[in-house]
Amino acid sequence: MEMTRRGLLGGALAGAAISAAPLRAATTPEDRWILLGTGGGPVMRKTRMQPANLLQVGDRSYLIDLGAGVTRQLVQAGVAPSRIDAAFISHLHLDHTAGIAAFLSLDWVQAAMQRLRSAPVPIYGPPGTQTVIDSSIKAIAIQADIFRGESAHSPPPDKFFFGKDITQPGPVEVYRDEMLRVTAVENTHYATMHLPARPYGHDMSFSYRFETPRRSIVYTGDTGPSPAVEALASGADVLISEIIDLPGVVADIRSRSADKSVDVTPMIRHMELEHLTPENVGALAARAKVGKLVLTHLGMAPGAEDLDEPAVLAAIRKNYRGPVVLGKDLMSV
């Protein structure tokens, strides 16, 4: 099976300017955004999977973040893994990437057996994404070789997927096809972390704007207050934002620090400055003048399943008067 790469903007990842030309289609296709996983943080919850999202535009399907459980949630949403055309990762924290290996392996088995792909799946993300995808493919190499003993015609997994690092802070257009244009901008999720240089470059965290023929959707990923994200979200039809229960999370960090000699101050500072409280989210939505606000990546203490919705809405309403949706797994927005 010969595969070709499509949907790539070679100059875009090097920092090309964003085109203002609208997407055009013979007819305006329907689109839907499905919240596959709305939990936040590297913990498993009973009713919320880790962060993952599905955007469908016409007959195209795109993944945004791949937390643990993403493949199961895709099936729950009625979409086979082999139907994914491209994927976008906001940053490389575990709760946004723990489902990658399972997705690659199950997608590959189905697509290889049924010869479903004519092009490999591009997976875009911050520096290190290509390394993560290559490592994930290597992690399933033994299982893939065993499977290919039964299905010798199947190309190996490295012919089905490739990682693409976004290295510019943006805003930069990173992907375009006839149904979708995607713009990325670096946010402030790592602003105080002083991370060292890596072999693949510097760690970065991105927010994305997805423009379909019908509407614009901005996904914050994980971020603190950020003028760049506010500009990216300006005038968007939908803002899909992370949110944190800061008092609950900080209290949990302090209570679980068994070794009192361990300084938890950097972790607490990260939670305070590099996530969005309800007040932060409301201010962002109001200043960007978005049409609707959807809350996901609910940052809560382990064991918690829901935020205090009346309190969250009251805090958001201090700044934003538009419609607000508290996301749940498999909700379509």
* 3-state SS track over 16-67: CCCCCCCCCCCCCCCEEEEEEECECCCCCCCCCCCCEEEEEECCEEEEEEEC
pLDDT digits 0-9 by tens, 228-240: 999 999 999 999 9
Distance CA 240, CA 183 (A): 15
Q: Where do the domains of the chain lie, and which CATH numbers do they carry? A: 29-332 (3.60.15.10)
Q: Which residues pair with 54 in a beta bridge?
A: 34, 63
pLDDT of residue 14: 39
Rounded Cα gap, residues 87 and 123, in angstroms? 5
The pLDDT, as a whole number, for residue 180 is 97
What is the reported pLDDT for 150? 73
What tens-digit pLDDT sequence spans the chain (333 residues)? 445 444 544 434 434 444 445 565 557 899 999 999 999 999 999 999 999 999 999 999 999 999 999 999 999 999 999 899 999 999 999 999 999 999 998 888 877 666 666 688 999 999 999 999 999 999 988 888 787 777 666 777 888 899 999 999 989 999 999 999 999 999 999 998 888 888 898 999 999 999 999 999 999 999 999 999 999 999 999 999 999 999 999 999 988 876 677 888 889 999 999 999 999 999 999 999 999 999 999 999 999 999 999 999 999 999 999 999 999 999 999
Identify whether the C-beta of residue 210 lies closer than 8 Å to the C-beta of residue 23: no
Q: pLDDT at position 17, please?
A: 40
User: What does the alpha-carbon distance between residue 328 and residue 330 come to, in Å, rounded to a whole number?
Assistant: 6
Is-contact 222 91, C-beta < 8 A?
A: yes
Q: For residues 298 and 48, what is the distance between their CA atoms, to the nearest angstrom? A: 9
Tokens of 191: 């602003």
Tokens of 108: 């590959």
Whole-angstrom Cα distance, residue 218 to residue 61? 17
Question: In the prediction, which pLDDT does 258 show?
Answer: 67
Distances (CA, A) of 247 to 11, 198, 226, 253, 272: 44, 33, 21, 10, 9
Question: pLDDT tens digit string along 235-266?
Answer: 999 999 999 999 999 999 988 876 677 888 88
Decide: helix, strand or coil at residue 262: coil
Q: What separation in angstroms does the CA of 237 have from each of 211, 212, 230, 291?
A: 10, 11, 13, 5
Specify which residues 223 forms β-bridges with.
none
Query: In the prediction, which pLDDT does 149 show?
Result: 73
pLDDT at 263: 85
Task: Give the pLDDT score at 19.
Answer: 45
Question: Which structure tokens are listed for 230?
Answer: 């506010």
